[in-house]
Structure 1
Amino acid sequence: MEISELDAVSLAEALRAGDEKAATLVLEAIYPLVLRIVRNHLPRRMEEEDLIQDVLLKVLTRIDQYRGVAPFHHWVSRIALSTCLDALRKEKRRPELRWSELTQDEKVVLEELVSPREYEGGPAHLAAARELAERLLEALSPQDRIIVRMMDMEGASTAEVAALLGWGISKVKVRASRARKKLRALLVKLGEEVDTQ
């Protein structure tokens, strides 16, 4: 079930009045959106359901801040992204990834990625490739990680990312460019370690 903007305003009023049925309707409607955002931005060492519950609790406790100016799903998305960003900040950031820390499957994927021939890993290496991508993303700051995920993995536009994060479009473009450059440099560095092995 999706909440229309007229329903959202009336449901927000009902929530403020303590209507439990309205709370159930809102939670059921926003759960799929929150689940998608949390899965896309979940810190490695955090349980998915814990973060979802944090987001849902924030939506319910901050409902008095919703005025109906922005679309309800946009307001919920901002809370979800902010919660994920806070969780990423709390997670201890690892500034560097080393060849010796990679699993054997990740090493195979990396060797194929940096070799001059075309990548031939196929579906067998897909899980290792995803894991390697996650480990590379951990080298970025939480904000940069979210930008790269949204733009390069989810296909969000610069304007969409700017609106959800509350930033200007130019700031998003600059941060995305710098984040991609850092990822390329890290991949090159790991590739050089492949050559020395």
Structure 2
Amino acid sequence: MITYGYARCSTDETKQNIDRQVRELKEMGASKENIYLEYESGTKVDRVELQKLLRVVEPGDTIVTTEVSRITRSTKQLCEIIEFVQDKQLKLILGAFVVDCSKGELDPMTEGMLKMMGVFAEMERNMISQRVKSGMQNAKAKGKTIGRPVVTSDDIPTIFLKHYPKYKNNQINVSEFARLCSMSRNTIYKYIRLIEE
């Protein structure tokens, strides 16, 4: 019987730190190699790492996550996960809340509480989304620019321009280019597009 951990943040590792979740999952019994990390919205249905996790679990295994909103922010998807946990006879631990389906049964009180937690997680997400939209409308009304600033070829850093000829002459690949510039590969690709357009 293996304990698997699942940690999720809505944005990538450059914007949100997932370490606290990983530390807590280890404290809950998941080893580092059995922790699945995801950088996706909790409402997205086809999350790659969650699907991988659901494919490897066996009857009697345990899935741990720090709270219900980490595994999903959709009530519908939570109901599907509950059904999956029952069918597979797993134990699901959401922070301090334990859902033990290792015998294939789930008592009505636990199921009801779990679904209520799902409703609150979804409601919290909708409230956050509403606040963000309201803030953006308010900023627009005040004449502020919303979103990322437009990057032009004038904004490309000198360090990129210094190493670009090496990339162009196939002396370095994109990964080496990114390392030399201390930038992500996505940023390197963005600057390459700007220069080559």
The two structures have a TM-score, normalised by structure 2, of 0.26
User: Structure 1 or 2: larger helix share?
Assistant: 1
Point out the structure with max Rg over C-alpha. 2
Q: TM-score, normalised by structure 1?
A: 0.26
Query: RCO higher in 1 or 2 (8 Å CA, sep ≥ 6)?
Result: 1
